[in-house]
Amino acid sequence: MSMRLAPPLALCAGLALLQNLPAHAEQPHVDLHVYVNDTCIIADEPFFVPEAKNADGSEQMTPKFLPLIAVLISKFTELLINHEIQGQANQIKTGAARKDTHYALTKAMNLYRADLDGPPALSVNSKLGCMTILAAKLKPDGTDCTKLYIPKELAKESMSLPENQWKTSRTDDSLENQLRRANICVDGNASAAYEARFEFSSDGTAYRLKNAGYRITSLLTTQDKGATRSTFYALKVSEPGATDQQEVLTTASVDLGTVTAGARSPGAGGDKAPWLRTPPLSLEGRRVFDEKTRTQQELYGEIDALKRALARNQRVLGGLDQRIAVADADIAAGLKQERTRVAVQIQAQGAELDARNAEIQELPHAPLEFMPVTIEVSVTETESEKKAQLALADIINTNSDVVASSLGNSASGLLSKSVNPTDLKLDDPAPDARDQMEHARARYFDAVVAVDTAPDGAASQDDRQKLQLAKNEYNDARHALGLEPIQ
């Protein structure tokens, strides 16, 4: 997972309000907005060091953010492009709208990403780093408030201290100011902000949602400043289906416990948040990935096969040299002919490798994204923990007794314990099937290279038969994963 600045994100997903709450005497109207970025907007706000001056008044150093070095303040917002996706036009179903809950729903964003700087490899979308939920009224679209942002300037007395002891000299530590860094322009005062980090396992097959902190200026369900509420927010990821009924892929929640107006927390430490299974790439997603990256896969398949062939022939050449050195004249003559044949083949394979590498350089290298999903987010405030458990059960349409046992103090995963198994789509081809396809793919491209780089361009009948067998095995392995055969 030295720091190198990435180019601006193509898209940092944002979620817009979809809320239709019944009228309530004490309940203020609150707009809910959700942003998904590679880093947290509030929790990961960096310190800023202003430019220093020499004695003659000239610049001694460039303004910088710590720990991100040499980043100008005017450029920093490139790392946090937060264009909110337009919310769905339809409203939350009447049965799902609760008086104690605020909802937001996204249009589709993509769960997986393939970087094309090397062999196409799927991974969880890197934008899924942190989720920021904001309860506030925003200024009109097109408003730019980044110039009003006051950076978190590092106090001079902190510069010589360890990072965990740094303090800021900034006087405006308001939530509204912190949000301006990402060009999120609040009209008036924000009611609350909550952040949670997506943490993925090293192989990307599991994730957990961890509380990254919150700031609550006022409660969402009452204007009583002395009131307390049991608060949690839930995340539900679904895949669009053939009908209006979406297929739930995974559900998670973060329980904040009892909070009140003015509450603030840097987040929960430790590793109490349970690991949940990352939704695997869907069959349709695999097909689209295979189709859109087929040229890259074929070229990298040949490149890898050519490298293996060159390594084998280099070993053969070394062995021939050793045998020639100790052989008598008659045997040495035959070995030299074989050496010449191998050397010519090495030259042909090297030329093919250079050509394939040149072709790769000419292909697009922009990353691709796959598997659109819908993310529904809800924030719930209840008057007691018991009601919070019942509310969570109601929101995810499952049995409240099961949910009650799964709630924790930080993040609560509701993948298998709190969602009906029939509601979950977890189909994933067996790892053995994927491994078999990779081995069959390697054998196929080895056979392709053997035919294409045969001496004098005349591949033997045996090599051609091996190629056909390898192709058949590769297509069988592809078929097992639901992929189209190669031609």
Which range, 27-41, 132-146, 401-415, has the best average confidence (pLDDT)? 132-146
As a whole number, mean pLDDT of residues 256-262 equals: 92
* pLDDT value of position 192: 94
pLDDT tens, position by position, 177-236 = 999 999 999 999 999 999 999 999 888 888 988 999 999 999 998 888 889 999 999 888
* pLDDT value of position 89: 27
* pLDDT value of position 105: 65
* pLDDT value of position 110: 87
pLDDT tens, position by position, 326-372 = 888 889 899 999 999 899 999 999 999 999 999 999 999 999 998 88
As a whole number, mean pLDDT of residues 68-86 equals: 29
CA distance 121 to 79: 24
* pLDDT value of position 47: 87
Which range, 141-145, 251-255, 405-409, 424-428, has the best average confidence (pLDDT)? 141-145
* pLDDT value of position 52: 61
* pLDDT value of position 244: 63
CA distance 404 to 127: 31
Per-residue confidence band for 413, with pLDDT thresholds at 50, 70 and 90: very low
pLDDT tens, position by position, 434-483 = 888 889 999 999 999 988 888 776 788 888 899 999 999 999 998 888 88
Strand 152-153 to strand 130-135: parallel, antiparallel, or no bridges (unpaired)?
Answer: unpaired
* pLDDT value of position 419: 36
* pLDDT value of position 442: 92
* pLDDT value of position 406: 32
pLDDT tens, position by position, 136-188 = 999 998 999 999 999 998 888 888 888 888 899 899 999 999 999 999 999 99
Worst-scoring range by mean pLDDT, 52-61, 331-340, 347-356, 404-413? 404-413
* pLDDT value of position 300: 95
As a whole number, mean pLDDT of residues 55-75 equals: 46
Residue 216: other Cβ atoms inside 10 A: 24
* pLDDT value of position 350: 93
Whether pTM > 0.75 for this model: the answer is no
As a whole number, mean pLDDT of residues 370-399 equals: 77
Residue 265 has pLDDT above 80, yes or no: yes
* pLDDT value of position 376: 82
